[in-house]
Structures are given as structure tokens and as C-alpha cells.
Amino acid sequence: MPLTENGLNTLRAEFPALGQTLDGRPIAFFDGPGGTQVHASVVDAIARYYAEANSNAHGVFEFSRRTDATVAAARAAMASLVNAPSADEIVFGPSMTALTFNVSRAIGRTLEPGDEIVVTALDHDANVAPWIALEEQGAVIRRIDFDPADCTLDLDAMQAAIGPRTKLVAVGAASNAVGTVNDAVQIGGWAHDAGAWIYVDAVQYAPHGAIDVRAIDADFLVFSTYKLFGPHLGVLWGRRELLATLPAYKVIPADDAPPDKFETGTPNFEGMAGAAAAVEYLATVGRRFGEPPGTGAFRDEILRAFTAIETHERALTSHLIAGLQAIRGVRIYGITDPGRLRERVPVVSFTVDGVAPREVARRLGERAIFVWDGEFYAVHAIDRLGLTEDGGLVRIGINHYNTRGEVDRCLNAIAEMA
């Protein structure tokens, strides 16, 4: 059956946080772009790991073998999530930011002075700062602007910037500040035509749409499981031949083969158990709410889950944007055309005339409506929009566990303060 009200209530009951109240009011969680709520199966998986498998890896005793099995299951789950050719192409780390700095340093060791890296003004700084840092090694950074009118990348400038000296293009699958979905397939094609790699930040896209690294023809792709209903953990997928040949920074005893060579220190095994459970949860969404019924294959159920999720979230996004547009003094940044909602994820950011973003978020928070305010580490985008000195934006993030009633509560509260 589709993700109807009854089905949504069933799913919501499986998220412990969604039953919480604040001063007698149910909490509306619109803070997902900064981190989603966690499914109960994730909590159970982490607790079960601590109780039944807590040990370091690669030992010859039972708990260590269980830890090895936990890691293998987590890699396999992430490989299915992104349609990776091999689970050995999955690297775990403390965050997307940490993983990107690790990879940028490794790539930096292969660069020559004058080699070029392309970044965008629309990205989270975690996909900008690690590449700008390579200027110390002589890299030349090309920065691509976006159109402030609808917050879409200047693709003509992107194509023109990619040339024979380009070594890597860093781009977000979706903007965490204004929701824009970028054409990573087209950009990756331009990069490969020039002999360059493409590095895709899919953190903000991952909770809302199916990822297929083969269809994108990406070279690297990163995301965070704590924005995918799981624990705080970063995930990197990279082509195996690249992971194998890049010179990683690592301690001497560490394995020199991927993915271990990029996982510095003792990994977060309990987080991996929870991350695998989060992907398993998504598969159950596909099993229960995908149409028509699936084949039972794990990847197929994930795809069906995202079809149901996208349908539900797009309807709520349309309702939210229309409601905000009807409130005098509210300005939305990003794509608002109902016919173009496939070009954005359900991250809707706006300002209210005469009310600072922090104050809007505070007042909503007092009503048990949780939203973010500020620049969200998308510092270049907020600066380009001229909003840095004014406190940035108010950001509402919709996830599949949100309801139309919650959106209406939020709209009514904004209308009152506007």
C-alpha cells in the first residue's frame, strides 16, 4: 500500500523520538537536514552489539568474529544502498567531513603545481575547504557560481571551467542550504571527458532519493548515516582501483588495501551495526509501502522505499512552499515552481521580514517545532545570497516521517509572527 496516513502512523510509532512532547505539545521534527531521528531498530542494533559482540576486530575469539561479521554486514548494506560493485569499496569514518579531508590529502599527494580542482559556491564547506587546502601544494581552485534567483548552478561556467589541467570536480548531489539537486551525471561526464575525477557529496540527498554510483558514473561519493535515520557515522564510496592506488595516510601496521587503509584508528563498530540497521529499515519501507510489490531483492526494496518516500515528501514540500508563499513578508530561497520540485530535495529555506532567522527558530522551538537557522556550513552560498550579516536563513527539512498536520502547525506559527 502507499505511504498513506495509516501507514505513516505505523512508521512514526517505530521512531522513539517522535512520541516525545514539549510542554504538552507533540514535537514536530523539521531539523532533519542537520540530523534525522533514529529508527528503533537502529537503537536495538547498537545495544545488541554492545551486549553481544563488543570487541576489537580480527581476533580469534567469538566476540571478535562477531565484530568482523558486523563490519562485513555494514559494508554490504551500504554497497546495496548506493549500488556499489563491491562492498570493499565502502569506507567508514567519523563524518563525511573527516573522510573528505582524508581523501583530499591523499589526492593532494598525486598533484603537481598548476593542477586544477573545481568547487562550487552552492556546496557545504565540507566539500570545499578540503580541496581549497590543497592550494598549499600548488593546486589551482576554480569556483563555480550559482544563480541567486533560483539557486541553481551555472552549468555553462562549470563546463567551461573543466579543462585539461582539471584533476577533480567536487559537487553536491543536493544543497543542504536551499535544496537544489545538481546534475551530477552531466557534470561527471564533463569531468571524465577531461580525464578528471568527480567527488559527490550526497549527504543531503541520501534520505530523500535512491543513489546509484554506477548510473552517476561517480569516482567518489560520500554521505552520513546520521542524516539517514541512523547513528553518527560517515560513509565514503570510491572506485576500488582509485582506493587501491591513492597513497593514504595511515599507521604502519594498517592494511595497505582498501577499504582498511583509509579507516584510521579503531572504527566505530557499534555505529556500523546501527548504520546497517538503518538501511534494513529502508528496505522494510519498500516491502510495506512500495508499489507494485517488489521481488524481495534487497536493492529492489530500497528503490521502492525511495519511490514511496519521494511521493510523500514531494506532496508535503509543495504544500509547505505554497503555504509560505501565501504569508506576507516571507521570502523563499531556491526552486519554488511546482513543476520543478524534482529538481530539489525537501529542504526549504526562507527569511521573514523584520524577524531574524535565529528569532524565528527560537519562537518555533517554543511551540515544539524544531527547525534550523543560520548558514548550515554552506558559508559560500549564504554569503553569495547576501545573508551572512543578517543571520542566514531559516531552514525547514521534511522527512518521510513528517505529516501534513505538522506542516500546517509550522505554517500557522510562521504566519502569526510574520
Question: Does 256 score more than 90 pLDDT?
Answer: no
pLDDT tens, 169-221? Answer: 999 999 999 999 999 999 999 999 999 999 999 999 999 999 999 999 999 99
pLDDT of residue 294: 64
pLDDT of residue 330: 98
Average pLDDT over residues 373-401: 98
Give the residue numbers spanning the domain of 128: 43-278
Report pTM.
Answer: 0.96
Q: How confident is the model at residue 1 (pLDDT cuts 50, 70, 90)?
A: low
d(CA 51, CA 265): 22
What's the grid cell of residue 2?
Answer: 502507499
Establish if 350 belongs to a structural domain: yes
- The CATH number for 355's domain is 3.90.1150.10
pLDDT tens, 276-311? Answer: 999 999 999 999 998 776 678 999 999 999 999 999
Count structural domains, the chain.
Answer: 2
Establish if 290 belongs to a structural domain: no
If asked whether residues 308 and 408 sit together in one domain, one would say: yes
Cβ–Cβ < 8 Å for 64, 58: yes
If asked whether residues 273 and 171 sit together in one domain, one would say: yes
Question: Does 255 score more than 90 pLDDT?
Answer: no
Cα four-point dihedral sign 49, 51, 57, 63: negative
If asked whether residues 273 and 338 sit together in one domain, one would say: no
Establish if 293 belongs to a structural domain: no
If asked whether residues 65 and 108 sit together in one domain, one would say: yes
Average pLDDT, the chain: 96
If asked whether residues 270 and 208 sit together in one domain, one would say: yes
Establish if 287 belongs to a structural domain: no
pLDDT tens, 133-147? Answer: 999 999 999 999 999
Closest CA to 225 of 258, 268, 188, 195: 268
Beta bridge partners, 221, equal 200, 237
If asked whether residues 24 and 53 sit together in one domain, one would say: no
Q: Write the CA distances from 252 to 57, 248, 267, 389, integer angstroms.
A: 17, 11, 17, 47
Helices (H), ranges, 210-297: 213-216, 240-245, 269-289
If asked whether residues 267 and 352 sit together in one domain, one would say: no
pLDDT tens, 58-97? Answer: 999 999 999 999 999 999 999 999 999 999 999 999 999 9
Establish if 284 belongs to a structural domain: no
d(CA 367, CA 236): 38
- The CATH number for 197's domain is 3.40.640.10
Residue ending a domain, among 217, 247, 278, is: 278
If asked whether residues 234 and 354 sit together in one domain, one would say: no
If asked whether residues 70 and 210 sit together in one domain, one would say: yes
If asked whether residues 333 and 312 sit together in one domain, one would say: yes
pLDDT of residue 4: 82
d(CA 102, CA 105): 5
If asked whether residues 309 and 393 sit together in one domain, one would say: yes
If asked whether residues 207 and 303 sit together in one domain, one would say: no
